[in-house]
Amino acid sequence: MLIFGVLTGNVLGFARVAVTAYLLGTHSRADSLAVAMGPLDTFNNMLLNSMIFAFVPMLTACKGEARTALLMKLSRLFTWVFGAISAVVILSAPWLMRALAPGLDPQYFPQAVMTLRILSLSTVAAGSGAIYCALLYTGRRFAPTAFNQAAINAFTIIAALGLFRMLGVYALAIGYTAGTWAQLGVVWYAARRPLKTASLPECHIHWSEILRKPAFFVVYASGLALNITFTRAYATHAGPGMAAALDYCMRGVGVPMALLVSPVSNSLLPEIARLRSLFRMREAFRLIDRTVALAALIAVAGCTFALLFRHPAVAIFFQRGSFTMESTTLVSAVFLGLGPSLVGWSLLEITSRSLFALDRPWPPVIAAMIPLLFNICLTLRLHSFQPELVGLGSSLGLMLGFVVLFVMAHLNRKVWMEQA
C-alpha cells in the first residue's frame, strides 16, 4: 500500500507539473510560482519527516492511554508552533521573497509574495497532520498516510484546471493548500477514531524535551533544503524562466528519488530500530550496507537513463500549451547539471535515515551541511548563468556529502558497536 501510494502521488505529481507547464511554460510568472511553492513544499515535507523520525520512537515506547496522552500533548503543542510559523511567513513574505528570489522580474514580485502567503496556510495542516502520521506509523498503518502527496497533487490539478482563468497562478496555490487540509482530515480521522480520549492520564514529558526531539532532523533536513533553495535563488539571476525550469527538473529528480527512498527508508526505520533495541548492531549495519549498495545500483542506472533521454522525455511530458520547444531545450539543459543529484541525494537520505534510526544523529547533520557549502562555493566561483551549470554545484555537493557520511559511518562503526 505504501509503495502504491507513493507511486500514485508521484504520477499525479508529474501530472501537476505537466498542467503547470501547459498553463505557465517558462515565463516569469512561472518563476513567481516556483520561488514560492518550491520552498514551502520542501518545508512541509521537512516537517512531515521530522515529526515521523522524532516521535515514532517516542510513541512506540508508550502504551495504551499513555500513548494517547502523549499524542494529545504533541497535537496541542505543535498546532501552536505551526500556526506561529504560518503567521510569521504571512507577515514577513515580502522580505522572505527578496531572499528566495533576488533576481525575479519586479513586475511579478507582488504575485510571488501573495502566492507565498496563500501557501503558508498549508504549513499548519502539513505539520499537524505529521503528528497523526507518526501515530499511524507506530501502529504500522501506512494506508492513510500513503496518499499524502497524491491528495495535494490532485487538489492542485483540479484547482488549476477549474480556477486558472479566474485566479491565475493563485489557483495552484489554493489547490495545494486545500490538498494539505484534506490530507489532514484523512489522517486525523484514521488516527483519532479508535482512540479513547476521556479520562486520560497526564503526560509528564516536558514540552522542552518534546521540542528538542525533532531538532536534529530539522537541522539535517534544513541543510538539504537550503542546498536547492540557494540554487533556485541563484537561478532567478540567470534570466526569465530559469527558476521554473529548475523546478520542472526537480520533478524528474524527485519522482525516482521518492520511489526509491520513501519505501526503503520507511520500511528500514522500524527494522533498524528493532535490531538496535536488541543490541544486534552488526546485523543492523549489514542491513544498511546491503540497502545502500542496492540503492546505488538503481540510482546510477536511473540517472544514466534519464540523462540520455532527457530531451525527448521533456518534450513528451511537457511540450504543449505555453511550454514551447524553447522551453524543452531550456529544461533539458538545466537537467544535465541537476539530474546527477539523484544519485548523491538518494544515497545520502537512505544512509542518514538509517543512522537516525540507530540514534546516531551527528554524522547526518554534519554531512547535510556539506552540499550547501560546496554548492555556494562552486556556484559563486563559476558565476555562470549557463543552464547546464546552474544545478551542477547542487549535484556535486550532494555526492560529496554522501561520501563524507559513508566514511564517517564506517570509521565510527566499531566504536558504536562497542558502546551498544
C-alpha cell at 59: 510513541
CA atoms within 13 A on the CB side of 131: 28
The pLDDT profile of the chain, 420 residues, written as one tens digit per residue, is 666 776 787 788 888 989 999 999 988 889 999 999 999 998 998 888 888 877 877 887 777 788 888 888 888 888 999 999 999 999 999 999 999 999 999 999 999 999 999 999 999 999 999 988 888 888 777 777 878 888 999 999 999 999 999 999 999 999 999 999 999 999 998 888 877 767 777 777 777 777 777 888 888 989 999 999 999 999 999 888 899 999 899 888 887 887 777 777 666 776 777 777 677 788 888 888 888 898 899 999 999 999 999 999 999 988 999 999 999 999 999 999 999 999 999 999 999 988 887 878 899 999 999 999 999 999 999 888 899 999 999 999 999 999 999 999 989 888 787 776
CA atoms within 13 A on the CB side of 195: 23
Question: DSSP code of 278?
Answer: T
C-alpha cell at 408: 564517517
Count, residues in the chain? 420
Integer Cα distance of 147 and 153 in angstroms: 10
Integer Cα distance of 300 and 313 in angstroms: 18
pLDDT computed for residue 266 by the predictor:
65
Integer Cα distance of 28 and 26 in angstroms: 7
CA dist 125 to 9, 158, 184, 237, Å?
Answer: 18, 19, 6, 33
C-alpha cell at 4: 502504491
pLDDT computed for residue 118 by the predictor:
97
Query: Do 118 and 35 form a contact (C-beta atoms < 8 A)?
Result: no
pLDDT computed for residue 3 by the predictor:
65
Query: Do 83 and 124 form a contact (C-beta atoms < 8 A)?
Result: yes
pTM value? Answer: 0.86
Give CA 24 to chain center in angstroms.
Answer: 23
Integer Cα distance of 407 and 347 in angstroms: 13
Integer Cα distance of 72 and 185 in angstroms: 16
Query: Of 366, 368, 395, 365, which is closest to residue 379 (Cα–Cα)?
Result: 395
pLDDT computed for residue 208 by the predictor:
76
Integer Cα distance of 269 and 146 in angstroms: 16
